[in-house]
Amino acid sequence: MTRTAVALGSLLLVLCACGSQTEPPTSGPPTSAGPSAAAPIVTTTGGPVISGTGVEAPPPFRLRYDDHELVLMPHTWCYDSGCVDGISEDPPSVGSPSAVRVFVPVERWELSASFTPADERCGRYQTITPTEDDGWYLLEPAGHAGTYDVHLFAHGGGDMAAVFRWTTPADGELPAPEATMALIADHDGRPDSYGVELTLANLAETPDSAQATVTVTAANGESLTFEADRDGHGCTAEGTVFFGGPDAQGRAAAALGGFPFRYEVDVRLDGTTYHASADYPADEIDGNEPSVALEFTPPLPAMR
């Protein structure tokens, strides 16, 4: 497991030995945009200008809003001959349109978008999957109305990322609480542990007090109960609680017996207890191994 922190800073380019990428055919925006994205009157270009890398960049995103089009250059990509990793230090702004439509320039690549409050080092991070219409993806506001940096990520046989700034004029879908836990891992068919990580995210607010009790039971019926360690350090968004450790208890749990393992988790947030259970590896999250998703009863407190 790794923890990912989103940091703003000077543009940093790192060339990766990514190997050969399979380049899907590219396509341009339709000459007649149709009802999904009206033809623009004003076109501007934004995003970092990256040169001298020796690595071919994919075509840029195209954003349409009101009567404008923004040609948005990626800051990070893996495409054809290699990869470039970077940060967009000064995201271009689209102002305050009611919606933004995004064209992904590489066929068969899919788009996701993450909203984080602008100029907040550790703001909430809400990821949405926009709807696609005639080759364009519709982005609508997410979270409470405000100014956000919107991180676009397109992927499929390669990937590209870019960011723009949007002052949303109205509230959108609010983020729902999420909970994940990593404890046991499958190491070549044997139970192992890379540590204990329990994360609660998108709570209504960060609780003043938080405790977590974890019970792990192996297939042979042997079990272990321990208190998880709350980690209050680092960059933690509002509404997030993270427990990291004790790692020794993770190793002890892996030594209990064989697969499958049953997790029982009780968290106490400001005096209220919430319970969840999961099975490993049956409930492992695809793409976020060895974490499992947890659903608590009663439901975790959500934003309103």
Nearest one of 219, 221, 210, 217 to 301, comparing CA atoms: 210
Same domain, 42 and 89: yes
Q: Is residue 28 part of a domain?
A: yes
Q: What is the pLDDT of residue 21?
A: 42
pLDDT of residue 26: 53
The set of residues, in sequence order, having a beta carbon less than 8 Å from that of 269 and lying 6+ positions away, is: 200, 203, 207, 209, 210, 241, 300, 301
Last residue within a domain, chosen from 114, 132, 167 = 167
Domain tally, the chain: 2
Same domain, 72 and 33: yes
Q: Are residues 191 and 160 in the same domain?
A: no
Give 285's DSSP letter. P
Q: Is 129 found in the same domain as 155?
A: yes
Q: What is the pLDDT of residue 115?
A: 96
Domain range enclosing 237: 178-293
Q: Are strands 82-85 and 76-79 parallel, antiparallel or unpaired?
A: antiparallel
Q: What is the pLDDT of residue 17?
A: 33
| pLDDT value for 273 | 98
Q: What is the 3-state secondary structure (H, E, C) of 177-220?
A: CEEEEECCEEECCEEECCCCEEEEECCCCCCCCEEEEEEEECCC
Per-residue pLDDT 10s for the chain (304 aa) are 433 333 333 333 333 333 334 344 455 555 444 445 677 889 999 999 887 788 888 999 999 999 999 999 999 999 987 999 999 989 999 999 999 999 999 999 999 999 999 988 888 889 999 999 877 999 999 999 999 999 999 999 899 999 999 999 999 999 999 999 999 999 999 999 999 999 999 999 999 999 999 999 999 999 999 999 998 767 888 999 999 999 999 999 999 999 999 999 999 999 999 999 999 999 999 989 999 999 999 999 999 8
* Domain assignment present for 9: no
Instruction: Kindly state whether residues 116 and 218 are assigned to the same domain.
Output: no
